[in-house]
Amino acid sequence: MPSLADKALFRDRAFIDGNWVAADDGATFAVDDPATGNAIGHVPMMGEVETRRAIAAAQAALPAWRARTAKERATVLRAWFDLILASQEDLARLLTAEQGKPLAEARGEVAYAASFIEWFAEEAKRVYGDTIPAPRPENRLIVIKQPVGVVAAITPWNFPAAMITRKVGPALAAGCTVVVKPAEATPFTALALAELGCRAGVPAGVLNVVTGVPERIGGELTANPAVRKLSFTGSTRVGKALMAQCAGTVKKVGLELGGNAPFIVFDDADLDQAVAGVLASKFRNAGQTCVCANRILVQDGVYDRFAERLAAAVAGFRVGAGVGDGVTIGPLINAAAVDKALGHVADAVAKGGRVLIGGGRHALGGNFVEPTVLTGVTAAMVVMREETFGPVAPLFRFAIEAEAIGMANDSDAGLAAYLFSRDIGRIWRVAEALECGMVGINEGVFSNEVAPFGGVKESGIGREGSRYGIEEYLDIKYLCLRLP
Ligand code: ADP
């Protein structure tokens, strides 16, 4: 357990109906620090029965929570936001302990996570309906919006705090109640957030956190008719399975799945800006974000210069445990993630790619991988087809704009894309042609609470954050009134 100023933030039980509870059979599982491999604690190994109980609690809490005014719900959310920020340092330490990212990034994530609670506390008060001019004189047509009901949220380990608040914030703001299943690797951040929610006045049953076997908890969350919406962030494979499972009870689904982001650098780009963009986009969280640049497409005229400058900048990264001073690249989440990243490098090298810097395990061993730049990359390499989710930057050379667009769109994924250019005509042309949900233009980091995050194609359904984000948790009801 990391040392925390507020020790009560370290919760090692699940949170159901306002109570901290163990699994019915007392089973637990260990959560490891990816930097050391040592267990930082254990949490309950729950299954269908406990999940059903959590759903029942959420259902029982729904009428009273839904009936509060938006302002009352907003006040609770605002108090939660304040408490999260007041505990920023403790939450960041907990997050780094179980997830591995550098402490500075963890602090940033906590602020980012809190921003969704603040934003949706504000948006709660702006759930407007409509009046529609009626086709018949005796009618008045009105549209109202109502909370969908009980929401299930299944979240990943790469943003243990933000992926929860981005779902729970709008759900609670809309008047829904929630059952969260955090990733097995990072439940402690989720439980600490629940503790702070409880202190902020979130009523019992409105927010529940269940830890345990993904298939069993997910099976219950998707089959139970009381759950009206599933919001999932994670792999495309699991997202597809959950979507199919939700068909049985026709739940609303929100999916944020894998990306394979193209990052296009044109000849006319500001190269310093483009290098800075790759550093931020590709290497943040050691390459483990779904919007990380995955395929870096560089135009002929600047390819060699860009590669050199990028390699020089990458040499400046400091790899180490997230708690270490000045560390900029932490460990990957586990051994499988290391194998995948190194497998992509090996495949590229076997097919003629060249390692400009890095390319192997880091001297620290364990889950540490050297930040890597590859040149001479071709479309036949796995690194161009699959999401690497590690600190590996493959540089592909292209000649003309149409080739870059074709290459960028040649993917089942469509989450983020990046383009660097100073030609305004080209910027519009390419941004409009890219098949994706978000485009960073001369910008490597664009996620924030006020903008819509989400993808097209197999990267998902729906948007999170922004004024659109709360719509996902609302049903439209049409009222047709006949005047007496
Ligand atoms: P990643 O590859 O990033 O770990 P996953 O899709 O496996 O992505 O995990 C994202 C979330 O989905 C985690 O909370 C994980 O426990 C959960 N999960 C994985 N498999 C299932 C499943 N079969 N049913 C429900 N949830 C699952």
Single out the catalytic residue among 123, 195, 256, 472.
Answer: 256
Q: What are phi and psi of 141, to 5 degrees?
A: -110, 130
Ligand 1 atom with the shortest distance to the CA of 235: 6
Ligand 1 atom with the shortest distance to the CA of 239: 6
Give me ligand 1 centre to Cα 230, in Å. 13
449 is catalytic: no
User: CA–CA separation, 437 vs 460, rounded Å?
Assistant: 9
Q: Tokens 């009352």, residue? A: 72
Token pair recorded at residue 178: 């929630």
48 lines ligand 1 (CB under 6 A): no
Q: Residue 248, exposed/middle/buried by CB under 10 A (0-12, 13-18, 19+)?
A: exposed
What confidence category does residue 351 fall into, taking pLDDT thresholds of 50, 70 and 90?
very high
What confidence category does residue 194 fall into, taking pLDDT thresholds of 50, 70 and 90?
very high
Helix (H) or strand (E) holding 350: helix 335-350
| pTM across the whole model | 0.98
Closest listed residue to residue 289, CA positions, set 157, 385, 381: 157
Give me ligand 1 centre to Cα 1, in Å. 24
What confidence category does residue 1 fall into, taking pLDDT thresholds of 50, 70 and 90?
confident
User: CA–CA separation, 76 vs 197, rounded Å?
Assistant: 8
Contact yes or no for 314/395 (Cβ under 8 A): no
Mean pLDDT of 314-321: 98
Contact yes or no for 182/233 (Cβ under 8 A): no
Q: Residue 379, exposed/middle/buried by CB under 10 A (0-12, 13-18, 19+)?
A: exposed
Q: Coil, strand, or helix at residue 151?
A: strand
Four-CA torsion 287, 288, 294, 299, nearest 10 degrees:
-30
User: CA–CA separation, 53 vs 184, rounded Å?
Assistant: 20
| pLDDT of 241 higher than 90 | yes
Q: Where on the phi/psi map is residue 119: left (φ > 0), alpha (ψ -120 to 50), or beta?
A: alpha
Tens of pLDDT, residue by residue over 365-407, are: 999 999 999 999 999 999 999 999 999 999 999 999 999 999 9
pLDDT score of 477: 98
User: CA–CA separation, 290 vs 157, rounded Å?
Assistant: 11
Mean pLDDT of 157-164: 98
Mean pLDDT estimate for the chain: 98
Mean pLDDT of 310-325: 98
Work out the percent of the chain whose per-residue pLDDT is above 90: 100
User: CA–CA separation, 437 vs 405, rounded Å?
Assistant: 15
Tens of pLDDT, residue by residue over 170-192, are: 999 999 999 999 999 999 999 99
Work out the percent of the chain whose per-residue pLDDT is above 70: 100
Q: Hey, which of 164, 236, 238 would you mutate to test ligand 1's pocket, going by the most ligand atoms within 8 Å of its Cβ?
A: 238
A 10 A CB-CB count for 451 gives: 15
User: CA–CA separation, 421 vs 277, rounded Å?
Assistant: 12
| Minimum CA distance residue for ligand 1 atom 22 | 215
47 lines ligand 1 (CB under 6 A): no
Contact yes or no for 180/207 (Cβ under 8 A): yes
Token pair recorded at residue 276: 């800075």
pLDDT score of 484: 94
For 159-171, the DSSP string reads: STTHHHHHHHHHH
Closest listed residue to residue 340, CA positions, set 290, 390, 412, 377: 390
| pLDDT of 287 higher than 90 | yes
Give me ligand 1 centre to Cα 183, in Å. 7
Provide the b/e sequence for 329-338 (b: ≥16 CB within 10 Å).
bbbbbbeebb
154 lines ligand 1 (CB under 6 A): yes
User: CA–CA separation, 78 vs 93, rounded Å?
Assistant: 23
Tens of pLDDT, residue by residue over 200-211, are: 999 999 999 999
User: CA–CA separation, 53 vs 27, rounded Å?
Assistant: 17
Rg (CA), the chain: 23
Residues in the chain: 484
235 lines ligand 1 (CB under 6 A): yes
Determine the residue type at 89.
Answer: E
